[in-house]
């Protein structure tokens, strides 16, 4: 069977992304080097030498979530990702609320990182050349650079992210090689995985950080329309991303512990958390490698920004096609085949937020990054929980041949585990924000507030724009040329007591497409 050929009609560039390409987008969004060098030392302070196991446990939890999530992806063809899944399982009001929450989550995860880009670049310039540069011009330049990356074709973005991801993971592999070859500080030890070192009071804090480190892995389904053989590519990319991140994070944190020794690493991490990885790579590889790591942290941040920007653009495109966002947001570039109008809108929003924090005299790291990122992270975790909850309800509505393990057991376990993850994050908010309780309360409250706003929007759409409401998250047309904002025909199962819609006229069967085995 030959590989699908990218189409030449107007619209996104279909049949373009393979499993590795989509994985690059997802893993790059997680920014492995930045997470390890910037956050893992704090996890070691909290959880001691048992910290690596926290990343493994988070990875296992999200792999369980992926079982039901990817099974449902074979039946839901909508480009709306999270909100489409939630709509099909739990109904349109919750789905529309989820759409707003997704926009909050992905925008929060991206826009706040422009503060990190400014500070990371300034730190790198100071460390390498002794030059002090202001953060704001760097962040604004980053906005333009990321806009251009999203404006270009999706295969261009995949190539850029592939290169940057290889570079940032490569420097961590280089550190690992140096530590393993030299036998660590006191010899290599597996004490990190002993139950007595894992089950300690600080493990809850480690798990909170670990779940945050995976944020964005589920965005594989956003690229469904641009994937080669999406029924296979999307699930494979999801498992590959979560598996790689879980194992790689745990391995690298273990390597950092070996670089200082079980007895000394907690003291070293507490004394200089920001310098832990730089000290380790200087000792076991050389000062030149530490200088390179400084540079690659900046490129790691850029890769994360580009990955989230592309995801946001596709969410914006999908909502414009739904008729929820302005129709103009659904414009696709005729040559690059990118959702460039949504990209412009997202860049403008990012510039407004960045400039607003700058004019208020806010700290780019402590406030722009942490205060904007944190609600985004909680929002995405909440969407994962809702998506897991939607899976068994969806499969109860359709005829299918999927097993009960995939459609009921795994999603139920994921609901329990993800609820625990959200509780851990909320109860350890001070570790994420370093902010007073009032600020933390407000940051957490943003998420349910946006969700309630989405429920209100759903009610308003049902009353004032019933055609948009009725066709929200419906299965896409197979015929090309559907205008953005035009309600597509639907063969989705009925929800909320609505009359079932007729199958697409071109179908030769009376069975809905979503009910047929893939």
Confidence of residue 161 (pLDDT cuts 50, 70, 90): confident
Q: Looking at the predicted structure, is the pLDDT value of residue 98 above 60? A: yes
pTM for the model stands at 0.86
Q: Structure tokens of 174?
A: 């280089």
Q: Looking at the predicted structure, is the pLDDT value of residue 508 above 50? A: no
Please tell me the predicted confidence (pLDDT) of residue 480.
Answer: 36
Q: Structure tokens of 83?
A: 């909100």
Q: Looking at the predicted structure, is the pLDDT value of residue 404 above 50? A: yes
Q: Is 465 exposed, middle or buried (0-12, 13-18, 19+ CB in 10 A)?
A: middle
Which letter, b or e, does each residue of 53-76 get, where b requires 16 or more Cβ atoms within 10 Å of its Cβ? bbbbbbbebbbbbbbbbbbbbbbb
Bigger pLDDT: 33 vs 13: 33
Q: Looking at the predicted structure, is the pLDDT value of residue 12 above 90? A: no
Mean predicted confidence (pLDDT) in 427-437: 90
Q: What is the pLDDT of residues 456-479, one digit of tens each?
A: 999 999 999 999 999 998 876 543
Mean predicted confidence (pLDDT) in 507-514: 34
Q: What is the pLDDT of residues 294-312, one digit of tens each?
A: 999 999 999 999 999 999 9
Q: Looking at the predicted structure, is the pLDDT value of residue 2 above 50? A: no
Residue pair 101/451 in contact by the 8 Å Cβ criterion: yes
DSSP 48: G
The DSSP string of 396-427 is: HHS-----HIIIIIHHHHHHHHHHHHHHHHHH
Instruction: Give the whole-angstrom CA distance, residue 280 versus residue 40.
Output: 13
Bigger pLDDT: 419 vs 205: 419
Please tell me the predicted confidence (pLDDT) of residue 16.
Answer: 85
Report percent pLDDT > 70 for the chain: 89
Comparing C-alpha atoms, which of 391, 382, 393, 415 is closest to residue 495? 393
Bigger pLDDT: 9 vs 384: 384
Confidence of residue 219 (pLDDT cuts 50, 70, 90): confident
Q: Looking at the predicted structure, is the pLDDT value of residue 142 above 60? A: yes
Confidence of residue 56 (pLDDT cuts 50, 70, 90): very high
Mean predicted confidence (pLDDT) in 180-184: 96
Please tell me the predicted confidence (pLDDT) of residue 259.
Answer: 97
Bigger pLDDT: 408 vs 31: 408
Q: Looking at the predicted structure, is the pLDDT value of residue 417 above 90? A: yes
Confidence of residue 413 (pLDDT cuts 50, 70, 90): very high
Per-chain mean pLDDT for the chain: 87
Domains of the chain: 20-392+402-464 (1.20.1740.10)
Please tell me the predicted confidence (pLDDT) of residue 455.
Answer: 97
Q: Is 509 exposed, middle or buried (0-12, 13-18, 19+ CB in 10 A)?
A: exposed
Please tell me the predicted confidence (pLDDT) of residue 365.
Answer: 93
Bigger pLDDT: 205 vs 288: 288
Instruction: Give the whole-angstrom CA distance, residue 205 versus residue 53.
Output: 12
Instruction: Give the whole-angstrom CA distance, residue 218 versus residue 285.
Output: 35
Instruction: Give the whole-angstrom CA distance, residue 491 versus residue 488.
Output: 10
Bigger pLDDT: 113 vs 225: 113
Q: Looking at the predicted structure, is the pLDDT value of residue 407 above 50? A: yes
Confidence of residue 483 (pLDDT cuts 50, 70, 90): very low
Q: Looking at the predicted structure, is the pLDDT value of residue 104 above 60? A: yes
Comparing C-alpha atoms, which of 89, 105, 77 is closest to residue 386? 89
Q: What is the pLDDT of residues 20-33, one digit of tens each?
A: 888 888 898 888 99
Q: How many CB atoms lie within 10 A of CB 467?
A: 11
Q: Which of 11-25, 33-47, 172-186, 339-353 shows the lowest mean pLDDT across its residues?
A: 11-25
Q: Structure tokens of 494?
A: 């009925």
Q: Looking at the predicted structure, is the pLDDT value of residue 107 above 60? A: yes
Please tell me the predicted confidence (pLDDT) of residue 506.
Answer: 34
Please tell me the predicted confidence (pLDDT) of residue 477.
Answer: 54
Q: Which of 207-216, 465-474, 501-510 shows the lowest mean pLDDT across its residues?
A: 501-510
Please tell me the predicted confidence (pLDDT) of residue 10.
Answer: 59
């Amino acid at each position: 069977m030959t590989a699908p050929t990218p189409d030449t009609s107007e619209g996104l560039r279909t049949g373009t992304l393979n499993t590795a390409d989509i994985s690059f987008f997802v893993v790059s969004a997680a920014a492995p080097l930045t997470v390890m060098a910037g956050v893992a030392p704090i996890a070691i302070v909290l959880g001691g030498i048992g910290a690596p196991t926290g990343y493994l446990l988070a990875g296992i939890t999200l792999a369980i979530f992926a079982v039901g999530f990817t099974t449902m992806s074979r039946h839901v063809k909508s480009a709306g990702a999270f909100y489409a899944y939630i709509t099909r399982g739990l109904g349109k009001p919750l789905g529309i609320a989820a759409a707003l929450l997704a926009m909050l989550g992905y925008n929060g995860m991206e826009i706040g990182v422009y503060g990190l880009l400014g500070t990371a670049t300034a730190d790198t310039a100071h460390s390498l050349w002794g030059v002090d540069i202001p953060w704001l011009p760097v962040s604004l330049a980053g906005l333009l650079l990321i806009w251009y990356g999203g404006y270009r074709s999706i295969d261009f973005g995949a190539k850029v992210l592939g290169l940057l991801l290889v570079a940032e993971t490569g420097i961590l592999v280089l550190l690992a090689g140096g530590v393993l070859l030299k036998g660590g500080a006191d010899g290599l030890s597996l004490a990190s995985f002993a139950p007595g070192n894992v089950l300690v009071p600080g493990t809850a804090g480690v798990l909170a950080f670990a779940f945050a480190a995976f944020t964005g892995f589920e965005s594989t389904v956003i690229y469904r329309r641009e994937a080669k053989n999406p029924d296979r590519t999307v699930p494979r990319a999801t498992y590959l991303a979560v598996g790689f991140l879980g194992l790689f994070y745990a391995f690298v944190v273990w390597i950092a512990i070996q670089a200082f020794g079980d007895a000394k690493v907690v003291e070293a991490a507490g004394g200089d958390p920001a310098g832990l990885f730089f000290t380790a790579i200087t000792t076991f590889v050389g000062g030149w490698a530490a200088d390179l790591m400084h540079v690659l942290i900046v490129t790691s941040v850029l890769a994360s920004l580009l990955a989230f920007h592309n995801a946001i653009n596709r969410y914006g495109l999908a909502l414009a096609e739904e008729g929820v966002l302005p129709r103009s947001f659904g414009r696709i570039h005729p040559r690059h085949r990118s959702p460039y109008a949504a990209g412009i809108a997202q860049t403008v929003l990012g510039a407004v937020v960045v400039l607003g924090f700058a004019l208020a005299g806010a700290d780019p790291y402590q406030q722009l990054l942490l205060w904007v990122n944190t609600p985004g992270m909680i929002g995405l975790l909440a969407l994962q929980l809702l998506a897991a909850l939607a899976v068994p309800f969806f499969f109860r509505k359709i005829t299918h041949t999927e097993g009960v393990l995939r459609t009921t057991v795994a999603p139920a376990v994921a609901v329990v585990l993800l609820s625990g993850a959200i509780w851990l994050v909320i109860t350890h908010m001070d570790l994420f924000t370093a902010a007073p309780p009032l600020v933390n309360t407000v940051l957490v409250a943003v998420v349910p507030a946006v969700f309630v706003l989405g429920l209100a929007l759903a009610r308003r759409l049902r009353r004032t724009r019933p055609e948009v409401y009725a066709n929200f998250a419906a299965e896409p047309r197979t015929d090309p040329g559907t205008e953005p904002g035009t309600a597509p025909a639907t063969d989705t199962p009925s929800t909320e007591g609505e009359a079932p819609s007729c199958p697409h006229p071109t179908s030769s069967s009376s069975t809905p497409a979503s009910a047929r085995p893939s």
